[in-house]
Amino acid sequence: MKILIAEDSQLSRSVLSSILAQYDYTVIEAEHGQEAVEKYVEYDPDVILMDLMMPVMNGYTATRKIKELAGDKFIPIIVITSIVETSSLTESVESGADDYLNKPYNAEAIHAKIIALSRIKTLHDDLRESEQKIEKLSKQAESELLVAEHIYDFVLDKGHNGLTNVRQYMRPVTNFNGDILLTAHTPAGGFNVMLGDFTGHGLSAAIGAIPASEIFYQMTAKGFSIGDIVTEMNQRLQKILPLNMFCAASFIEVDQERTTMSVWNGSMPDIIVTDAEGNMINRVASSHAALGILTPEKFYRKIDILSLQGDERVYMCSDGVLDARNSESVKYSLKSYLRLFENNKQCPVGLNEIVDDLFSFAENGEVNDDISIIEVNMDKKVDSWHADNKDIIGGTRITTEWSASISFDAESLKHTNPVPLLLNMVNGINVIHGHKERLYTVLSELFTNSLDHGLLHLDSSLKSSPEGFQEYFMQRENRLNELTDASISIDMKQRCIDDDWFISIDVKDSGDGFDYDKTRASLDNNEGLSGRGIELIKQICHSIDYNQAGNEVKAMYSFSK
């Protein structure tokens, strides 16, 4: 250990030096304050013994200068005084001295003070080291958070240019959210909404948000149903996220005509459906594990299907809402949330009223989790989607004649939905902006009719009541599972006739045929399985014809219509 002695008396210096030498300290000597400062810089001693009255620079000034040079590093300085003079002691402590010694010197006392002060120095150094480590870590965390924030903003930005019929309140706990909202139109003019809540915040949440949003936007654009989307998303998140991380999520899928809503709720609070007055008419509680937990074999994609009138509103929220606490640490809870939608209230509840109620409850309390509340308005008038956007149709370029035949046997019908695949094929050969939605509608309607009525013999009149709705889809699932020896063939031909381009779509099933007129009538009544029906197809297509048996339909679609 190195001890610096600043003392102008030659005699005093040698007495001190010989005492310190007994304890094996290395001694550095300075004759005045100025020299003490210089030797401090040169030798970096562990403890300094400082006389007060010295020529050139006195001990007070030297102490102050050395403490300044040391910055946040601790250098113990012991002042040496000949008489106990309270005023000089106070002044030296004010200059930065840490302790004092009285002359004449006592070897034991000097040694004890040096040990005590170097112990404090060790503590101080350790503390400083961990402070620096913490500071470095917190800077690192801060910069990672910035990266995550950038990723998140980028991901969420794509959601923002989405739907005019979706309103949101999102309040993050940290400077950005572990909750994500994704919204997009389907090719057929319906829309999908996903509200997700990742475990944790920051970078860990952003890691999952990237693939989740990619899957959502890409699969929605290709016309996949939310059942397909949640299955894919679960599989991907399960693969990439650590075991203890997952994404609670609620999904809704609504068709263009607002006749049905498919719902998948995995570990999120109840999804509420209200009528136009804000009274709750339905709610869908969680019946699934969060995404990213279950292996594909264990994952359950079952969705709930509700029928709609077209004037409802749907509310989705993250569990931060239910977990918000008031000043007595009582949770807001599902009960308070549901009470907002009760029938006997004075004025209709909406997004603003929910947010107000929550925060007047949690005022002076604590909010520990991200808060997201989403309102989806089913009124078509507030949705910006238009099928006949002429600007978009201008982007169509069709130059080739082609044809394709594809057929599906019972097994492949159980596992694939060919409609997105077919649409992708047409879209891959041509540039068909603006026709995509309508072609999707035609393909999906013709295919669904062949499968549901031609092969599965389902009765569409079932769908006229909400209970029947569920029944219809249960029957559909059961009969599809039992289907054998059946097939659907689809032929598509693109031709140019008198300068106009057409695509003919021929769908034939192996069933006995069904009563086209009867089915048409019932479809007209309740707008069919996905809310479109044959009438809509007739409007979209140049022509539509069933064969005599009723197991083959041919639609002509004109690109110039």
The burial class, CB within 10 Å (0-12 / 13-18 / 19+), for 140 is exposed
Residue 498, sorted as left (phi over 0), alpha (psi -120 to 50) or beta, turns out to be left
- CB of 369 or CB of 506, closer to other proteins: 369
CB of 223 to other proteins, least distance (A): 28
- 3-state secondary structure string across 122-166: HHHHHHHHHHHHHHHHHHHHHHHHHHHHHHHHHHHHHHHCCCCCE
Q: Which residues bind other proteins (CB under 8 A)?
A: 197, 199-200, 243-246, 248, 266-269, 285-290, 293, 298, 319, 323, 331, 333-334, 368-369
The CA distances from residue 268 to 200, 221, 334, 347, 548, in Å, are: 15, 25, 11, 27, 50
> Cα–Cα distance between 393 and 554 in angstroms, integer?
24
CB of 133 to other proteins, least distance (A): 18
The CA distances from residue 101 to 105, 109, 438, in Å, are: 8, 8, 95
- CB of 200 or CB of 513, closer to other proteins: 200
CB of 231 to other proteins, least distance (A): 16
CB of 292 to other proteins, least distance (A): 10
CB of 244 to other proteins, least distance (A): 3
Give the torsion through C-alpha atoms of 240, 242, 245, 247, to 10 deg.
10
Contact call for residues 56 and 97 (beta carbons, < 8 A):
no
CB of 331 to other proteins, least distance (A): 8
The CA distances from residue 456 to 338, 449, 460, in Å, are: 40, 10, 11
- CB of 200 or CB of 365, closer to other proteins: 200
- CB of 267 or CB of 307, closer to other proteins: 267
Instruction: Give the orientation angle of helix 107-160 with respect to helix 10-22, to 10 degrees.
Output: 80
The CA distances from residue 343 to 63, 248, 279, 338, 347, in Å, are: 78, 29, 5, 11, 10
CB of 168 to other proteins, least distance (A): 21
Contact call for residues 80 and 100 (beta carbons, < 8 A):
yes
- CB of 64 or CB of 288, closer to other proteins: 288
CB of 478 to other proteins, least distance (A): 22
- CB of 333 or CB of 396, closer to other proteins: 333
- CB of 289 or CB of 429, closer to other proteins: 289
DSSP per position, 27-70:
EEEESSHHHHHHHHHHH--SEEEEESS-SSS-HHHHHHHHHHHH
Question: What residue has token string 């809870």?
Answer: 333
- CB of 221 or CB of 289, closer to other proteins: 289
CB of 179 to other proteins, least distance (A): 12
- CB of 179 or CB of 509, closer to other proteins: 179
